[in-house]
Structure 1
Amino acid sequence: MERFIRKYSIEKDFPLSRSFVWKVLGDNDRLNRFIGLFPVEFGKVENKQGGIFYRDAIAKVAGFVDILWKEYPFQWVKNEQYTFERIYEKGPFTKLVTTFEFLESMIYENGCKVSIKSEFTPRNLLGLAAIPLIGIKSMKNTIRYVDEQMLVANGTIEKIHYQKKTVGQVNLEELNRLETLLDEAPVNPDYRIKLHGLLRDGESNDVVKMNPYKVASEWGAEPLEVLRLFLYATKAGLLNLSWNLICPNCRVSKVEYTTLSKLKGQFHCDLCGIDYNADFGKYVELNFSVHPSIRKAYDQVFCVGGPMITPHVHMQRVIQKGNSFAFPLPDGFVKMRIRVLQANHIVTFDEWPEDKNIKGMAYTYEDNGWHRSGEQYNLKNDEMMISNESSSDIVVVMEKAEWNQEVVTAAWVTSLQEFRDLFSSEVLSPGQQVGIESVTILFSDLQGSTSLYESIGDADAYGQVRRHFEFLSHWISKNSGGVVKTIGDAVMAVFHLPEDALKAAIQIQEHVSEFNATVGDPIVLKLGLYSGPAIAVNSNDRLDYFGRTVNMAARVQGQSAGHDLVLSEDALQNEKMQAIIMGLERFEIISFKASLKGINDDVALIQLKKRVPGSLIVQNEEVSDI
């Protein structure tokens, strides 16, 4: 049927930016649902002879007719074009190649012309007849999808309901009943209303594997407040939570667990062909789904290879052996890297060369990896030449090197006091340990606690110590931290961000005089913090942390003299930490070196000491504690 190959194209201008239309049509999973395609089941990654990988895919048309094909990697340049190719083993076609181009509009200023070109190879006369019924109809529906998304963007319509709730109706009675359990929760009532609307009216795929930060972006809401809402909603039974292991290369979820106790220390990515260690700080992410008692919803998959599945990728391209391709570089520099899929050979760029002509900026790929090419190329501005001199075809991506920060990682959420209070049973399995790339540990201690017990007696001293724990917990929680445990009269706390730990420590010392005004015998606090990698473990049925960072934090706290906090001088290398420290008015900054137990060399430290210990500022006037 090769002589029956049919080529069709359709195009339209929109008063929309290319970046906007790219996001709309690059989200193939959502697009395919709208244009009427069917859910797909994808197999594992396989390799054909010659090097390019594919996935076996199957879809049931009308619920009983199977269509089977091999899905090859999408190819794209962000905001410019993308192409996908399917080789069918069963169905009306033997091959389909479709290309989307995002061109500058000659009609609308700063607009976009969308051009869709499809090449159909029918299997037989029935396939030839199916082209207008399936193929051309899908192309027209794609243009209509952009039309409707434009109406949403302009505020003409609120939302497109492109998918019927085929998986069951919403149990409004149960939804309303469970929402009453949030009446006393410290959450934004406006966000509660938005969550109600999402759970009631959202499409099936919108209410499973929800990323609270992405939801916050769609709502125009504060991310941390939406996360808090989701945590309390989970405790109330409106939502379920799940932990997803994310591949550090392709950055796509590979394994999902309903509880941390089931989390494994290692996982495998079939696309990258590598085993990875689970890292709390990057590779373990928290998602939320609607509870089945409210409605049954499933994450139906329509596409696994579109550009929006891996939005950090600027360009993806198949380069056949012996061929070259000039990669267009993204506008404006962000730390980038080029990587060969599956082989995982990587070159990272901290900056582009100053010469914007970039003549000679070329790389050759061979079986053993990348090599800077000595050959000179007459390239356009902002292009890079990639040559494939290996023994097989390859798939090359140019992508952001930095990890996506708009996700809720396990390290982040498990450091929150509210999570630790609401989900105290969420711990790792006994004996399991998971690494965290960076965490900040804060230790506190009471100066002269022994004399406190001697002077006021055990019962009164113990009560005061307990109240001081509550005081510390308030400021730790207020700054997105969590109390890990108490040790005698000391507290160990954890923070995901070092600047949050610093702000908490400063506020504790600034407000301790207020606490002392409520007790008979004033307390003096000694604080220390330290940042670095750690190991998360299950200790006495709670999530605990061990390792050098924890030991260093304890030793750094030991250098505190009271009315102060001590931290590593390395903290000044963090711009946010430096800005906080340099902006302090009530604290004296003292640099010193100390010999810490178990550390060979002296350690450079910073002491932030209150200028007038035990004083308060009231309307810019300094007064002593009573």
Structure 2
Amino acid sequence: MADHEYHERWVWELQASPEQLWPLVADTNRFDRDSGVPAADLVTDGELLGDGRVRVRVRQYGVTLDYVQDPFVWDEPRRFGVTRHFSSGPIGRLRILAELDERPDGGTTLTYQVWATRRNALGLSIPIQIGQILRRRFDKAFRTFDALAVAGTPELASGSTPTLARTADERIAAARAGLTGVPGGSSVDPALLDRLADHLRRADDVAVARLRPYALADRWCLPRRDVLEAALVATRLGLLRFRWDVLCPQCRIAKATDDHLVEVPTAIHCDACGIDTTANLARNVELTFAPAPTVRLVDPDEYCIGNPAATPHVVHQGLLAPGETATVVPPEPGRYRVRCLERPGAITATVADDGAMDVETVSVPIVAEATADVTAAPGATIPVRNDGADEVLVLVERVAWGDDAVTGAEVIALQRFRDLFADEALRPGERIEVGTTTIVFTDLCDSTALYQRIGDAVAFGRVLDHFDVLRR
């Protein structure tokens, strides 16, 4: 049914900067959940639509809505948007665009626009559903995000009350009481265990569904090893459970998640990137944590698929038609990879003080022998032009992986982990790369004579002191 396009444009003046707001506002999975949007299911029928497009199904008010979603487009931390093409329900096409403009006072002008066309007579309700109901929900969500960004507590953002298990308080109290009864428990600060428990009680589902100890430590300004060991002890005490995530080396999204190291696959395939890869404990196997179900129940549903927060290393993503040019401004100095999804080839764009302000246009798709790397000054614009015959999805991504992941190689080398989880081992006969590992051999010289000279009890104490030094 052909119909005119309904349009809404809303503006918010917020206190936080675009950089502070981006992790919250661009996390449209969290935003949609907090705004009352129903859960989304990815429809996998074996057909790949190409260039990041996906089929999605949602159910709302008893009506099934099927749509094809174009890939999200974004420029961190300035804008993001998406278009959805519906084949059922009242809406024909829905497009959104959010823009974050920094104000001279350091705050942000957030402009949010929605365009929608109707498929049938039920679409006459679009002005009420979008213009009134969603407008109020969006207002509440954005103002909440602003307050949390200013306060530096983004993990508390939630449109619902955390669902604690009936046994939560009992479990937490038992863990506190049993802290010294597990290997390494006596070295964990009880206050840190309390802080982890408080995080499980108060943080929203998105924040606790995939806990990363080093990221928590950085946010809390605590030593990383202390938080990791506290999380391991909390797992042994029944507050947390851990999982082994095998990440795609390109999109860095978990493609396999297992509860035990013995279950980790050696080979994985990423449909989105179209690549096969192997598990490497030092590079793409990460240990993450989640609340134990006897402490906290976490909503497993996904509300928005393919949003910018799912791939935070990607600073620009956009569709380019043949002959079209995009302008990319990387947000900070560093090395970036410019590539096209599902197509071979990539170049490196380096942002450094000695770079140029006037940067030569990057031609895509990348042809290795015809395209050179570029160096740009901070704040410079990098033009990217599609010189091919087909539409392409361009990605500009940080080359460096964040160092806040607990890698598999790191954790299995940790004595505390081996003491707590001696049964965590690779499948017999299985080979998984570990990168570079350092092995230290030590010897307590003349230990037999030591026992004879100073007595068994004192000598045994010296041996234990030796092991304590090694563990540290």
TM-score above 0.5: yes
Asked which structure has the greater RCO (Cα within 8 Å, sep 6+), the reply is 2
- Taking the TM superposition and a 5 Å limit, the aligned residue runs for 1:246-325 are 246-325=247-326
Q: Is 1:59 the equivalent of 2:35?
A: no
**Post-superposition shift, 1:355?**
5.0
> Quick check: which has more Rg, 1 or 2?
1
2:370 alignment counterpart:
371
2:94 alignment partner in structure 1? 96
What CA deviation, in whole Å up to 9, does each residue of 1:171-227 have, x standing for no partner?
A: 423332343222552212222222222233343343322112233344343322111
Aligned to 1:18: 18
Q: Which sections of structure 1, spanning at least 5 residues, go unmatched? A: 479-626
Q: How many residues align?
A: 463
- Helix, strand or coil: the match of 2:96? strand
Q: How many angstroms apart in 2 are the aligned matches of 1:457 and 1:241?
A: 42
Aligned to 1:483: none
Distance in 1, matches of 2:270 and 2:455, equals 55
CA distance in 1, matches of 2:94, 2:378: 32
Determine which of 389, 392, 395 is the counterpart of 1:394. Answer: 392
Q: Is residue 2:93 matched to residue 1:82?
A: no
CA distance in 2, matches of 1:466, 1:167: 46
Taking structure 2 as the reference length, what is the TM-score of the superposition?
0.88
1:181 aligned onto 2:171: no
Asked if the contact 1:246–1:284 (Cα under 8 Å) also holds between the matched residues in 2, the reply is yes
Q: Please say if residues 264 and 278 of structure 1, whose CA atoms lie closer than 8 Å, have aligned partners that are also in contact.
A: yes
The one-letter amino acid of 2:285's match is V
* TM-score for both structures, normalised by structure 1: 0.68
Q: Could you tell me how far apart the structure 1 residues matched to 2:115 and 2:410 are?
A: 47
Aligned equivalents of 1:288, 1:268: Cα separation in 2: 23
Among residues 432, 435, 445, which one is paired with 1:434 in the alignment? Answer: 432
Percent identity, please: 24
Q: Residues of 2 paired with 1:301 and 1:351: CA distance?
A: 35
AA matched with 1:180: A
Q: Is the 8 A contact 2:335 2:351 kept in 1?
A: yes
**Alpha carbons of 1:465 and 1:244: their partners in 2 closer, same or farther (altered >3 Å)?**
farther
Cα deviation code 1:151-184 (max 9, x no counterpart): 3345599945412456865642333234322255
Q: Does the Cα contact within 8 Å between 1:347 and 1:370 map onto a contact in 2?
A: no
Once the two structures are superposed, residues 98-150 of structure 1 have per-residue CA deviations (whole angstroms, 9 ceiling, x without a partner) of: 00011133xx6122100011110111221121342146532442232221233
Equivalent runs, 1:544-583 vs 2, <5 Å: none
Is the CA contact (8 Å cut-off) linking 2:51 and 2:393 kept in structure 1?
Answer: yes
CA distance in 1, matches of 2:84, 2:31: 17
CA distance in 2 between counterparts of 1:370 and 1:143 reads 50
Determine the structure 1 residue equivalent to 2:470: 476
1:345·1:370 contact (CA, 8 Å) conserved in 2? no
Code of the aligned partner of 1:400:
R
Shift of 1:397: 1.0
Question: 1:396-545, aligned counterparts within 5 Å?
Answer: 396-445=394-443, 470-478=464-472
**Inter-partner Cα distance in structure 2 for 1:157 and 1:400:** 25
**Structure-2 residue corresponding to 1:548:** none
- The 8 Å contact of residues 345 and 366 in structure 2, kept in 1 or not, is answered as no
Contact 1:367 1:391 in 2 (8 A): no
Of the candidates 118, 125, 128, which is equivalent to residue 132 of structure 1? 128
What SS class does the counterpart of residue 334 from structure 2 fall into? coil
Secondary structure at the aligned position of 1:402 is classed as coil
Q: Deviations over 1:467-501 (max 9, x none)?
A: 665344312211xxxxxxxxxxxxxxxxxxxxxxx
- Residues 350, 444 of structure 1: alpha-carbon distance in 2 compared, 3 angstrom cutoff: farther
Q: State the superposition RMSD in angstroms.
A: 3.1
Displacement of 1:405 after TM fit? 0.8
CA distance in 1, matches of 2:451, 2:168: 57
Alpha-carbon distance in structure 2 between the residues aligned to 1:258 and 1:157 = 29
Q: Which residue of 2 aligns with 1:27?
A: 27
* Partners of 1:235 and 1:326 in 2: CA distance: 50
Partner Cα separation in structure 1 for residue 455 and residue 398 of structure 2: 55
Does residue 172 (structure 1) correspond to residue 169 (structure 2)? The answer is yes
Residue identity opposite 2:174 in structure 1: R
